[in-house]
A = this chain, B = another copy of it.
Amino acid sequence: MSEDETKTPEIVLSLEIDDPALADRLATLLGNVAGLRLAAPGEQAAATVVARDARTMPDDIALTQRELDVLALMAEGGSNKMIARQLGISVHTVKFHVGSLLDKLDATGRTDAVAHAARRGVIEL
């Protein structure tokens, strides 16, 4: 292990790829790049290569614009009343949209809905 490359801190990359085939190809490709190194298990990495789609995301679960509005405010911890004020609609309407959200996201409550939405990338926390 000769350390002659003191001024080229190798960039350590970790992989979080769901698809085994893709993970394998990426590992092979990235392993041969000078200046890069793949992280050992548990090692702290400078960056992470992620690819966790394919499975739970038909396309976008067909949420309407208004539902997305409500969902975003829910993720901020807003109550129905707050969301209603924010969007200039009635609490009843907010509940209506929340109900649709729970249905479409297959959630049991607003917390579950936000968690599901975040998991499948519908919203960004």
Task: Give A contacts to B, CB under 8 Å.
Answer: 11, 13, 17, 22, 25-26, 29-30, 32-36, 46-51, 74-77, 79, 107-116, 118-119, 125
Contacts and interface: CB of A to CB of B under 8 A. Distances in A.
Nearest to A124: B119
Number of copies: 2
B47 A112 contact: no
Given A33-B30, A46-B22, A47-B17, A76 B11 contact: no
A118 B116 CA distance: 12
A43 to B, nearest CB: 14
A77 B47 contact: no
A26 B50 contact: no
A63 to B, nearest CB: 17
B47 A107 contact: no
